[in-house]
Chain A
Amino acid sequence: MKEKFNTLVSTAVPLPVENIDTDQIIPARFLKATTRQGFGDNLFRDWRYDENNNPRPDFVLNQPQYKGKILVAGKNFGCGSSREHAAWALYDYGFRAVISSFFADIFKNNALNNALLPVQVNDDFLQEVFAVIKANPQALITINLEDQTITLPDGRAATFDINPYKKICLLNGYDDIDYLLSLRDEIAAFEKTLQTTSLNK
């Protein structure tokens, strides 16, 4: 069972950069751990700390006025490497949702598999979200998974898509693997019909 996701009300952290790749979210040299925990310390490592491991004051995670469980980022978030460590790092740091106008495929899947909700809105609405946070870093943003809506403090709202299966999983804390394990007999029956892939091993 994963953590259940329903409604999230939180301030948000703005990161208006496009094409943020998973190498930025968690650089490769921090992928050596063999568990899922602890990656949050190195989230956005090279943007967050300089060569001497001092926090870079101009990076948003080092600016105390910006806090919250929602990250707001530019278009094509999570492109590049398939490392699920990127989703683990965001979650471990404390994020529960990422808002962007576009997500890379593998990242989106990885996020959904780890109770981190990718919320895709159109470009214009994304710019409104950035503007609202800039005007007031304390602004509370509401993400309602059941209704598939995101609402700003002044009531402006947008809807977002999520496939029905993933929605049920997130709302209930279900896992893909439980579903697949329940099909093992059917899978074994299907294998008998395979004609290719004779294994020469």
Chain B
Amino acid sequence: MGCARGEAQEGYPDVLYIDRHFIHEVTSPQAFDGLRKRQIPVFRPERTTATADHNVPTKDQHLPIREALSRHQVEMLRKNCAAFGIDLYDLGHPFQGIVHIIGPELGLTLPGMTIVCGDSHTSTHGAFGTIAFGIGTSEVEQVLATQCLLQYRPRTMRIEVNGKLGKGVVAKDIILYIISKISAGGATGYFVEYAGTAITDLSMEARMTICNMSIEMGARGGLIAPDGVTFNYLKGRRFAPQGSAFEQQVQLWKSLQTDEGAHYDKVLKFDASDISPMITYGTNPGMGMRITDRIPTESELREIGERHSFARSLQYMGLEPGTMLLGKKIDYVFIGSCTNARIEDLRLVAQVVKGRKKAPGVEVWVVPGSRQVEQQARHEGLDKIFEEAGFELRGPGCSACLGMNEDKIPAGKYCISTSNRNFEGRQGPGARTFLASPLSAAAAAVTGRITDVRELLD
């Protein structure tokens, strides 16, 4: 926490000490190479934790990775962690999983920390009242070498959501709604604090879903002040302080609240009752709408500059302006990613599919965010519900969130996905992505079409 060096020169960045650093196989090899070139060690190896998640298969994880380049990248991570003394939760390890899922679930993420990772969704950890943000590989090298980063103060934004959520509306809908209101670049340059009763009513896992997608509106990070929900979640976690040490920390964490009357550079307020199940129709996460809405027409767009990109985007998606998405046939359902692959997400899915079967012709992948999530799902019998519905429960990893590993959506196919990005080709070259909540994804899985989940809930 804090700055290692107070009085820098005018215009010079602050030096930020990093309490916790996470790394994965894709954005770290060049950083370790840098250390080797300089012949320096990792400064504080105990503050870095590694896992393999982006480039791993989600089937037959006990076998060697088939694809040579992917295998090599994971092997490099192994070698680097061994050589530099860093804990690695490798394939097959009971703690392995998506980096932003395992940090919180292991209690490595604690309130008040500064946390970075060579991955933009590091914002997820902000749900615990941390300063958490994604960095590039050069910065990964800086953290490995010095446990510090050079940073400028971001601008501050407060997003308040008050009131009660309606039936079938969950955290994913809140964040897709906010992004659709302020656009994919609307919070660039800002750090966001989420507040209001609709946010504090959320569970820890749902709060992570919100903070996770801060980057989808351009924000470096998003955070929520820690409270009783946070402390209950952390109690007894593997690497969290235990016993009286934990109680002491709680006293300290309770002080991590924004001061009364503090100034923000921007304040936005939304009403929870205005939020419905949401879906995206385009190729950036800001192109979202209520699942019951029509896709806008060009003339309805706010900015002229958007129009060219809009037409291009709908062409890629194979969609017409002014039409409804409800009832549209889909080919794939992907339930996974650091946005929505925690146990509560799988429970939401199970709630909808229990006693139902997947629609013919639809492929459904359920990819738990970590080995522990998978174990918990089996323990609760969710695997049986998925099996009876004809869903495939896979091993943990990023999977079809990013079209890097074996799990890709084929060109031209429509996928409703609980992940966070609908960019062109994100789920595989030519793949067409609709972002939605786990509830909406489950509804589409059993009907084979884009469906308002509220019709399936009693």
What 0/1 pattern do residues 34 to 66 of A give for CB contact below 8 A with B?
A: 111000000000100001000000000000000
- A-B residue pairs, 9 tightest by C-beta: A84-B136, A164-B11, A34-B29, A28-B404, A32-B69, A110-B136, A76-B185, A82-B134, A82-B120
- Decide: A102 and B119 in contact? CB cutoff 8 A: no
* Residues 385-412 (chain B) with a chain A CB within 8 angstroms: 402-404, 411
5 contacts between A and B (CB under 8 A): A34-B72, A80-B421, A106-B120, A187-B147, A199-B46
- Interface residues, chain A, CB within 8 Å of chain B? 16-19, 21, 23-24, 27-29, 31-36, 46, 51, 74-76, 79-85, 87, 102-106, 109-110, 113-114, 123, 163-165, 176-177, 179-181, 183-184, 186-187, 190-191, 194-201
- Contact between A183 and B425, CB atoms less than 8 A apart: no
Interchain CA distance A113-B140 in the complex, whole Å: 12
Q: Give how many A-B residue pairs fall within 8 Å (CB-CB).
A: 216
Please, how many angstroms separate the alpha-carbon atoms of A199 and B149 in the complex? Answer: 20
CB distance B136 to A106 under 8 Å? yes
Given A34-B29, A51-B429, A79-B184, 11 further pairs, Cβ under 8 A: A21-B421, A23-B423, A32-B26, A74-B305, A82-B119, A84-B118, A106-B135, A179-B150, A180-B148, A196-B249, A197-B20
* Docked CA distance A164–B43 (Å): 28
Contacts of A79 in B (CB 8 A): 184-185, 188, 218, 284
Contact B305 A23 (CB under 8 A): no
For B1-31 the 0/1 string (1 means CB < 8 A from A) is 1101100011111010101100000110110
A51 near B146 with CB under 8 A, answer no
Whole-angstrom distance from the CB of A116 to the nearest CB of chain B? Answer: 12
- Asked if residues B241 and A165 are in contact (CB atoms below 8 Å), the reply is no
Partner of A198, one of B11, B241, B423: B241
Q: How far is it, in angstroms, between the C-alpha of A110 and the C-alpha of B424 when the chains are bound?
A: 22
Q: For residue A23, which residues in chain B have a CB less than 8 angstroms away from its CB?
A: 402, 421, 423-426
**Interface SS of chain A:** loop
Min CB gap B27→A, angstroms = 7
Count contacts on B: residues with CB < 8 A to the other chain: 87
Distance in angstroms from B150 CB to nearest chain A CB is 5
State how many angstroms separate the Cβ of B423 from the closest Cβ of chain A: 4
Which residues of chain B are near A28, meaning CB under 8 Å? Answer: 54, 402-404, 426
Chain B contact residues: helix, strand, loop or mixed: loop
| Residue from B4, B19, B70 with most neighbouring chain A CB atoms (10 Å) | B4
Distance in angstroms from B248 CB to nearest chain A CB is 9
Q: A19-B284, A27-B425, A31-B404 are in contact. Are A106 and B134 (CB under 8 A)?
A: yes
User: Is B440 among interface residues, defined by CB-CB distance under 8 A?
Assistant: no
Q: Are A198 and B245 in contact (CB under 8 A)?
A: yes
B4 touches A190 (CB 8 A): yes
> Is B43 a contact of A18 with CB atoms below 8 Å?
no
Smallest Cβ-Cβ distance to A177: which chain B residue? B142
B252 touches A75 (CB 8 A): no
User: CB < 8 Å: which of B5, B40, B138, B426 contacts A110?
Assistant: B138
In the complex, chain B residues whose CB is within 8 Å of the CB of A123: 305
A18→B411 contact, CB < 8 A: no
User: B189 contacts A105, CB within 8 Å?
Assistant: yes
CB-nearest residue of chain A relative to B113? A197
Contacts of A184 in B (CB 8 A): 43, 146
B139 at the interface (CB under 8 A from A): yes
Q: Nearest chain-B residue to A184 (Cβ)?
A: B146
B146-A187 in contact (CB<8A): yes
C-alpha spacing A197/B18, complex, angstroms: 11
Question: How far is it, in angstroms, between the C-alpha of A11 and the C-alpha of B145 when the chains are bound?
Answer: 39
